[in-house]
Amino acid sequence: MAVKNNRRAQMTRLLLKTALTELMREKPFSQITIKDICERADLNRTTFYLHYTDQQALLADVENEVQQKALEYLRNIGPTDDAPGLIEAFLRYIREHADLFRTLLCDAGSEDFRSRFIQHTLEKSRVNIPVSCASEEEPYVLCFLMQGSVHMIIEWIRRDFDIEARTLALLIYQTCHRVAP
């Protein structure tokens, strides 16, 4: 488990990552074996262990990469006061990478990814959720809004984007502000 920054090592990791994302479209993460991944990536099984300890570690790598790219995308939009517009842009990004987010957000195999992803994304893109209530209730309201929003997006993916991104963005924005004005 040394540094492994060579082109080759990076290429190998890329192969493993794409193999995993491919497989996750076909079956739930819980029943994807290391052998599966290596066969799909056309790599020797021993090679896997040179880079990751198990499937979870590989998945974590995929998730971090996705999150990083999403943040970068939002950063390029730049700071703006148009919160619904930012949400809309974010939704479009998700729809453009639908196959990816369908597995990462909807599959139960990587549940912690949801909270991390949405939280980091929304927080760092300055879409602040205003909370003003009794302090002991604050974390609960936050949790409510967070998870409610996430699952709206998940529902959107599951329904194959049956409403406009703009519509959903406004809905999320308005719903959150109706709860915490």
Nearer Cβ to DNA, position 28 or 139?
Answer: 28
Residue 54 CB, nearest approach to DNA (Å): 5
Q: Under rule CB under 7 A, how many of the chain's residues touch DNA?
A: 24
- The answer to whether the beta carbons of residues 113 and 104 sit under 8 Å apart is yes
Dist. CA 39–CA 135, nearest whole Å:
53
Phi, psi torsion values for 51, nearest 5 degrees: -120, -35
Copy the structure tokens of residue 148: 């409610």
Cβ closer to DNA: 32 or 169?
32
Contact region with a copy of itself (CB under 8 A), list: 37-45, 58-66, 78-86, 146-154: 146-154
Helices (H), the chain: 7-26, 34-41, 45-49, 55-77, 83-96, 98-101, 111-124, 138-158, 165-179
Q: What angle do CA 119, 125, 126 make, to 5 degrees?
A: 95
Between 44 and 174, CB nearer to DNA: 44
Least distance to DNA, CB of residue 94, Å: 30
Is residue 5 a contact point for DNA (CB under 7 A)? yes
Residues 21-40 that bind DNA (CB under 7 A): 33-35
Q: Which of 78, 108, 128, 160 binds a copy of itself (CB under 8 A)?
A: 108
Number of amino acids touching a copy of itself (CB under 8 A): 30
Q: Taking the complex as a whole, how short is the minimal distance between the CB of residue 154 and a copy of itself, in angstroms?
A: 8
Distance CA 174, CA 87 (A): 12
Tokens 């262990």 belong to 49
Applying CB under 8 A, the span of 4-12, 35-43, 63-71, 150-158 interacting with a copy of itself comes to 150-158
Q: How many alpha carbons lie under 13 Å from residue 120 in its C-beta half-sphere? A: 16
Q: Is 150 in the site for a copy of itself (CB under 8 A)?
A: yes
Question: Footprint of DNA on this chain (CB under 7 A)?
Answer: 2-9, 11-12, 33-35, 42-47, 49-51, 54-55
